[in-house]
Amino acid sequence: MPPAPEANIVMLITGDPLKNHRPAEAVRIALGLDSGGKGRMTIILRGPAARLLTDEVEEAVDGEELADRYLPVFKEWGTTFLVDETGAGHLSRVSTDFPHRMLTETQIAAELAAADRVLIF
């Protein structure tokens, strides 16, 4: 039997990393699902989740693990984070180490519709 094709997975993170652990857990899971940076994982940050790309990440719940263990791997892989326009207010302090692209609600809907799997945190 031929191997199954790689699934197109979208991780939609909406939680505030300064208030709960779910965004950090989502990032950790995304690392495991896209091990090796093979590009099968798309990460969309909505609203306050955009804080994951700012210097505020160190103040987040699980901030030390995010800043020291998880996010550096995405930097190394050159992962482009997709950020919805409502999260733009949080991006005034975004690190230039994180490639990102702004999306409208319509573009987010298209990304979700095109995915084989969607995980929402």
pLDDT tens digits, residue range 52-104?
Answer: 988 888 888 888 889 889 999 988 888 899 998 876 565 556 666 788 898 99
The model's pTM: 0.87
DSSP the chain: -PPPPPP-EEEEE-S-TTT-SHHHHHHHHHHHHTTT--S-EEEEE-GGGGGGGBGGGGGSTTHHHIIIIIHHHHHHHTPPEEEEGGGGGGGGGB-TTS-EEEE-HHHHHHHHHH-SEEEE-
All domains of the chain, ordered by start, with CATH? 14-120 (3.40.1260.10)
pLDDT band at 5 (very low <50, low <70, confident <90, very high): low
